[in-house]
Amino acid sequence: MRACDAPTVMRRLGVSRWRLPAIGTELRRLAREAPPPPLFPGVAGMLDRLADAGIALGIASSNSAAQIRRTLGTARSARIAHLAAEASLFGKAARFRRILRESGIAAPQALAVGDELRDIAAAREAGIAAGAVAWGYANPDRLRAEAPDAFFERPEEIARLCGV
């Protein structure tokens, strides 16, 4: 199902939209109790290169702020200028717009990078260029089929696109 969008996954699993809040609550509880997931290889270095170059970093995620900070660690978390956490399944575009508003960065100067189909859709809804990655949740071929503005096979390609 990694090649499916969220509504298709919900249909295939027989999950009604009205059940999403309860499922979300349970997933957040489980995430609080689980150890932080590791970053994908190369992501830490890429984030550090971007921050060292003075590029404003923001994270829009359905994960909690605490979980994001645990995964990044204290030093790297401090380098994330804008954090918009706990986005609903279909609410990431609002998180992107919030980050733009807080940062003062115009949408045409921003790039949203994600690993799910809904990340591409949310970036487009917010007027931001959509980048997709070959690592992570969704099937890379399915992400490419959505024709994101940029597609990255490896984390260092993101830094290279940003000139660092």
pLDDT in tens, 70-110: 999 999 999 999 999 886 666 889 999 999 999 999 999 99
pTM of the complete model: 0.79
Which residue from 151, 137, 130 is spatially nearest to 63, judged by alpha carbons?
137
- Furthest-apart CA atoms within the chain: distance in Å: 46
Q: What top-level class would CATH report for the domain 6-161?
A: alpha beta
Could you state, in order of their start, the residue ranges of all structural domains in the chain?
A: 6-161
In terms of C-beta density within 10 A (0-12 exposed, 13-18 middle, 19 or more buried), how is residue 19 classed? Answer: exposed
Q: Are 39 and 88 in contact (CB under 8 A)?
A: no
**Does residue 21 or residue 39 have the better pLDDT?**
39
